[in-house]
Amino acid sequence: MSGALSHIRVLDLSRILAGPWAGQMLADFGAEVIKIERPGNGDDTRGWGPPFIQGSEAETSEAAYFHAANRGKQSVAVDMAKAEGQAIIRELVKVSDVVLENYKVGGLKRYGLDYDSLKVLNPRLVYCSITGFGQNGPDAHRAGYDFMIQGMGGLMSVTGEPDGMPMKVGVALVDVMTGLYAANAVQAALLHREESGVGQYIDLALLDVQVATLANQAMNFLASGQSPGRLGNAHPNIVPYQAFPTIDGHIIVAVGNDQQFKRFCEVAGQPELSSDALFITNQKRVENRAVLIPLLLPLMQQHTTQQWMEKLSDVGVPCGPINTIGQVFEEPQVKHREMKVSLSHRDAGVVPSVANPVKFSKTPITYHQAPPVLGEHSAHVLESILGMDSTEIEILCNQGVIQRG
């Protein structure tokens, strides 16, 4: 195994999306990631379909959703409700660097798999807990899901048309961002361990992440005391910065400064707009949005999307189409950056995956395998890491403690 984190072993006890996304990121960076799953059905998202990635046997399939967040991992199916299963996990903890988990607050304590219990076995352990609301506070024991956190955390209040219903983002963005924060936090804790020799506990909440990533919208409120509203595809702080209808579709125009606005007006055949006192600076354009946009709408409907793309690109005005996901993977730039990769899967042969966007110069990402079949690596991990022999493994299988894929 190669990669920047090839010396790190991670026990991924998480399921669904936020925790697995963090585990996949660490696996992409070279870490050995052992995914601990319950026997039987494993991670909930294995069944979150259709669509499914179909194996060679009709009964073997995993949802595409599962494949989105579990690349490069080894699957060990262990029943942690059994004492023998708990013992296996504790033995793995002794020789691991990181634990990822997203159980409810206190959920792992009854199994003796909480941080306070495990740090006694391995003081160097970095233990990252992901919950909906964090480990303390009045909502700590509530379950939290991406959709409800997008609403509670304010994202939906600024998403959607002004006169329409508040809308969630089309992907589970809070989960994805929480996974990214988790991967960052784990690596920071590992760097701290290099200096101090000891691990630490990381408490990460979906709600906290959503609040933190409100970004400029949160600061707009803190600076003004006014809660931002929904602007559809428009930008609260830059004008014109939105989608416009064309003859045959839509185009996104992202004018980021006054010079770009001047060039935009020239291409649109209305150069005098850029020198109008109402629109001469971005501040003025934001203040007079309701005047400017109605003037631009009929201009934008004079050409096709492709014609606008060519005209605006020629003068350096940022613009782009609104692609379907199918069109995204046909974009020449996306192809050039190799954002679609093919991975080896035990049952399905070769399956597609979305590449990691990070391009390292010294430790390039190597894609070792597709997401694993449930329990695919149970025997291998117990034998190679814990030193169990085939007889011991067979007994554990017969007792229902582990499941082999």
| Residue 137 shares a structural domain with residue 23 | yes
Q: What CA–CA distances, in Å, run from 177 to 10, 18, 31, 207, 230?
A: 20, 8, 20, 11, 22
* 314 burial type by CB count under 10 A (0-12 exposed, 13-18 middle, 19+ buried): exposed
* CB of 14 closer than 8 Å to CB of 24: no
Would you say residue 132 lies in a domain?
yes
Per-residue pLDDT of 237-266, as tens digits, reads 999 999 999 999 999 999 999 999 999 999
The per-residue pLDDT for 294 is: 97
Per-residue pLDDT of 339-386, as tens digits, reads 999 999 998 899 999 999 999 999 999 998 999 999 999 999 999 999
| Residue 38 shares a structural domain with residue 112 | yes
Would you say residue 250 lies in a domain?
yes
The per-residue pLDDT for 2 is: 79
Task: From 54, 85, 70, 58, select the one nearest 18 (Cα to Cα).
Answer: 70
- Rounded Cα distance, 98 and 10, in Å: 5
Per-residue pLDDT of 21-45, as tens digits, reads 999 999 999 999 999 999 999 999 9
The per-residue pLDDT for 1 is: 52
The per-residue pLDDT for 368 is: 86
The per-residue pLDDT for 165 is: 94
Task: From 242, 238, 252, 246, select the one nearest 323 (Cα to Cα).
Answer: 252
The per-residue pLDDT for 58 is: 53
- Rounded Cα distance, 376 and 22, in Å: 21
The per-residue pLDDT for 9 is: 98
**Can you read off the two tokens belonging to residue 243?**
């989608």
Would you say residue 228 lies in a domain?
no
Q: Which domain holds residue 249?
A: 241-326
Per-residue pLDDT of 293-332, as tens digits, reads 999 999 999 999 999 999 999 999 999 999 999 999 999 9
Per-residue pLDDT of 97-121, as tens digits, reads 999 999 999 999 999 999 999 999 9
Would you say residue 350 lies in a domain?
no
| Residue 303 shares a structural domain with residue 170 | no
| Residue 143 shares a structural domain with residue 260 | no
Across the chain, mean pLDDT equals 96
Token pair 């003796």 in the structure block, residue:
112
CATH of the domain at 177: 3.40.50.10540
Residue 60: pLDDT band (50, 70, 90) is low
* 62 burial type by CB count under 10 A (0-12 exposed, 13-18 middle, 19+ buried): buried
Its pTM surpasses 0.75:
yes
Would you say residue 332 lies in a domain?
no
| Residue 207 shares a structural domain with residue 62 | yes
Residue 59: pLDDT band (50, 70, 90) is low
- Please identify, among 304, 326, 348, the residue that sits at the C-terminal boundary of a domain: 326
The number of distinct structural domains making up the chain is 2
Residues with a known catalytic role: 175
